[in-house]
Structures are given as C-alpha cells and as structure tokens.
Amino acid sequence: MKNRPKIQKTEKEPAQKFSISKRLLSFSMIVFVCLTVLVLIWFLLKSFGFNFNPKLGDSNKTFTVGALVTGGEDGKKGYEELEKYLNDSSQMKFKLDPIAISKENALKQAKEKIENAEWDIAFTSEPFTSIAAINEGYFFVARMTQDAPIIQSAVIVKNENLTIKKVDDINKTTKLAISDPNNVAFYYMPIYDLYGRAFQGVPLPAPFLKNSVEALESGQVDAAVVLYGNGLKNELTSNIVTKINRGDYRVISLSRPILPGSVYISPKLQEERNFIEKLLLEAPNTIKEGAKYATGKREEDYGFFKGLQRRVDNVLDCSGTNPRTTNLYDLSVKNCQENVEGIVSSVRQVELNKIELIVRSSSTEYGVLLSQNDLIEKLSKAFGLKNQRSLEALYTNLDKMKIKIVNAMPKDDIKGGTIYFDFTDNASKNASLEIIKKDKA
C-alpha cells in the first residue's frame, strides 16, 4: 500500500484565524453599540413619561364599573373579583359601583347612571337597563348569563284560593302585589299579561320578591308576582319553584321569557375602548362566571321589550292609571288609541289582499296592516293618480313615504317589539291613515 502524501500546512491559516477573530470583534462592537443606543433611547423615552410596562393603560384615569347586581352578597363578590382583575391587569384604575337589583328604585338608579354617563362599563343584568345603554350609544361587549336557561314572570295564587283559578277570574277587587314602576319582571310583564282586566295594585317595597311572597302567605294580597324558572339557584326563588311544582301555589299567568342583560362600554371611552374590551373578553373563566357574562355570543334582541314598555306606558296613560295616586289598575279600557307619524321603512304582501307597512317613529317601530285596495285608494288621494297600473307600481315603492295614523287602537300582541295597527278589522273603523308625502331627500 502506497503511503498517502502528507498534507502540507499553508502559511495562510494564521491569517484566516486572525480574519475570523476580527469579524467576531467587529460584530460584538456592533451589538454593543446597538444595545447602548437602545438603552439611551429607553432612558430618553422614559424621561418623557413613555410607558414600557406590559400593563397597558393610562394610570391617571379611573373608570367606573357599574353593575346591577343579582344574587345578593355572593353576586357582589363576583364583581369585586372582576374589579381586582382589571386593576391587576392594567395601570388604569377601575372602581366598582354596584347597585343591588333588590334595592328600592334600583333599575331607575341604574338607568340614570347610564343616561348621565356615570358608568364607563355597564353590567345591565336585565332588558330595560340594556335598552337605556343602547339608546345612549354604549358599545356591546358581551352577553350576560342567568341562573336558569329560561326565567319568566309568573302571577301566582295559593292553591287553596278557589275564587281565582285562571287569569279571567282577576277583577277590580283582586289585590295583586306589584313592584315600583321600573321593573320588567314585577311590573311591566304582569301589567302587559293582564291587559283587558282590572285589579288593585298593592305596591311593596324592596326586596320585592321576598315581600311579595310574605304578603301572599299572610293574606295581605290575593296574588303575587314572582320569578319562575327551573334551575334558579337563589334559595327564595328555588323554594317558590318547588312550591309551584308541588302544588302549593297555582300559576294563573306566565310571561314570555325575560332576557338577560349585557355588558357595555360607554361611548366616552374612544381610545381605551378596545383595550378594556380585550381585558374583559380575555378574563379567566372564573372571573367571567363571577360577573355573570360570557364571550362569543351576539347581543340579545331587546325589540319586544322596547314595544312592551311603550305599550304598557300608553295603556296606563290612556286609562288614567297613575301608580303614585291610585291603586286601581283598570286595564279593561278599550279606548287606548294612539297617534303616530313616521316614515315607511319596508312594505310586503302578507296575504292575497293584505299589505304590511313597517313605520318607524323615533325609536319605536310600528306595523300597519291594510288591504291592497285601501292602500291604492290612499295613494290615489295623496298623489292625485287615477291610472291603476301607476298606483299598483307605486305601492311597491313606499320607502321614505311619510305615514300619519290618527286614533288607532293597537293590537294587544307585540311581535318582536313592533306595535301593530290593523286597518282591516272593525276595531279601526274610527281610525284614519294618511299618506302625507314622499321624502325626496
């Protein structure tokens, strides 16, 4: 075997090592200079008050977290933990402003705080406070949760009461426990469900639910308004449901489901809104559960409750029922007529010869039902047209036309927040509908 030739070392190797060392030294110098510059920039920006803290937000600002609290002290504790989480996660300052929903005039106070922009973050807990937030331009963040999948308002009597077996047995001598005139469950819902009847309203102070049941048990009232829903965790409400299911109480009127509230951010918070929303949405599940809200859900449709409030207020007004001056709620009146002026937002044919117009007036939506022939006749009068084809073409393009309704009796049922007038039945024979003009703007 031939010997392999020895590899001769070249004289360039020391030069190559020196070249590599020189490059490393140059790179180290560049890194050192860059770090030095960054440190100098950091100190410079810090001296001007620039915030490098991973807790974002302006520490000079304090934001109010308003909450309409359900569940007593346990419910309040959940919002206190939320307050701590927000303060620990940001240099902003957050201050809790809780209002117990069982407190006297709680809903009125909550709505006033929203209307006066005192709450930067609002946990509304029920529909009317949510509507107040929407009307004031608050931004939706998350939907709140409830103790039960479905919660309803129920009018109950003791099972031994044989004079009131159904809702039709309620009359002007019946004593019904009701709350202050701001509550959805204990005021508006029972009045809406008892429309067409009369009763003696017995106003009870807060906490209403507790006092309502006690008044029923003692015989102070004949009927009480309570919350009903399988799965309610509160001891009092759970006990009421148990007695209903056991037959101790009889339900004579049950409302449609009452929607939960939502979480909103004030329109005042333009710069901070996205950051605060992120804090709320990314909170640990234990914090969300304590404050009773959930992410990933769309805002509730409170349209029905807008119509409910409008309808009940109108019925009480036209019947002369003032809760502050009388206990008699005479909802049997048949002359609760309304005058409406608004703009047509849509038109559709609902039956062969029946047309539906949706009319918007301020924040209220009205539905108008009338025959196709009647509509064409009114269009002819408004525009002076005689040609049948021209008139038929016109009624399909009613957008932005102004409608005036006088002395019309609304239908009892509210569909999705829309109050309806039916000009095809005899109840509207004394009412009038006029097409005023087309808005060319």
What is the structure's pLDDT at 405?
85
- Quote the pTM value: 0.71
What are the tokens at 177?
């426990």
DSSP 3-state of 20: helix
What is the structure's pLDDT at 42?
58
Instruction: Give the right CATH number for 337-438 from 2.40.50.140, 3.40.50.1110, 2.40.10.120, 3.10.270.10.
Output: 2.40.50.140
The phi and psi torsions of 263 (rounded to 5 degrees) equal -105, 130
What is the structure's pLDDT at 363?
66
What is the structure's pLDDT at 304?
86
Domain boundaries, the chain: 62-145+260-300, 152-254, 337-438
CATH number of 152-254: 3.40.190.10
What is the structure's pLDDT at 251?
95
Mean pLDDT per 10-residue section of the chain, whose length is 441 residues: 50 53 62 68 57 53 93 88 95 95 88 96 95 96 88 93 92 92 89 88 90 95 92 83 93 92 95 93 95 88 87 80 77 71 85 85 81 79 66 63 82 72 74 69 40
405-423 b/e (C-beta count within 10 Å ≥ 16 → b): beebbbbeebeebbbbbbb
DSSP 3-state of 25: helix
- Contacting residues for 228 by C-beta, under 8 A, at least 6 apart: 151, 152, 153, 154, 240, 241, 244, 251, 254
- Domain 62-145+260-300: CATH architecture, name and number where available: 3-Layer(aba) Sandwich (3.40)
Helices (H), 206-251: 208-218, 235-246
